[in-house]
Amino acid sequence: MSLPTIPDITPKINLDRCDTINMLLSSIALEEIGLSHILNAEGEKIQAFIKSDCKDLSAYLKVNESVNKMLRTVVKSQILLQFKLEDVISLSEVSDCNHCKKHCKDEECHCCHKNCHNEIHIGCHKECLCNKCKQKKFGSIPDF
């Protein structure tokens, strides 16, 4: 019997630190959405049970215990997500990923009022500057 051969798979993924932080934030948001679906399903389970004709006290207690266990699990997940969020926020602050840059196609330069032609829009400063005006304002073109 021979050993299996595993192909050399080297995916080329180019993510910088800020992209990775954004992906971590997205994963937290998706986990939160998943937990909200679980909570909704538990609410529907209670509504369906109440609408049923079952009047047995033990059945009510079983449903209550089931929902209680699920809610405890959701709360535990929420605590872990809070820790994860705090870690990602601290990473974001250290990495200086809070800048708001985007391309401002067909917008006017804040200073000279000419078209910026895809120059960088400094969202945090709420102005769009063409390269000439950036040089005038900052002395050299800053790396935003």
* Closest to 112 in 3D by CA, of 135, 142, 141, 144: 135
- Residue located via tokens 């959405």: 33
Estimate the share of the chain in helix, then strand, then coil, as percent rounded to the nearest 5: 60, 5, 35
The contacts of residue 141 (CB under 8 Å, 6+ apart) are 131, 134, 135
Q: What percentage of the chain carries pLDDT values higher than 90? A: 43
Q: Which residue has the higher pLDDT, 118 or 45?
A: 45
Q: Which residue has the higher pLDDT, 19 or 129?
A: 19
Q: What is the per-residue pLDDT across 14-63, written as a single tens digit (0 to 9) for each?
A: 888 888 999 999 999 999 999 999 999 999 999 999 999 887 999 999 99
Q: How far apart are CA 3 and CA 41, in angstroms?
A: 46
Looking at residue 67, what is its pLDDT?
A: 96
Residue 144 has pLDDT above 60, yes or no: no
Strand 127-128 relative to strand 101-103, pairing: unpaired
Q: What is the pLDDT of residue 72?
A: 97
pTM: 0.59
Kindly state the tokens that stand for 70.
Answer: 């699920």
pLDDT at 125 over 50: no
11 pLDDT above the threshold of 90? no
Predicted pLDDT at 93 = 82
**CA dist., res. 22 & res. 80, Å (int):** 18
Q: What is the distance between the alpha carbons of residues 31 and 75, in angstroms, rounded to a whole number?
A: 13
Give the pLDDT confidence of 77-93 residue by residue, as tens digits. Answer: 999 999 999 999 988 88
Gap between the Cα atoms of 142 and 144, Å rounded: 6
Mean pLDDT of the chain: 78
As to burial, measured by CB atoms within 10 angstroms (0-12 exposed, 13-18 middle, 19+ buried), residue 130 is: buried
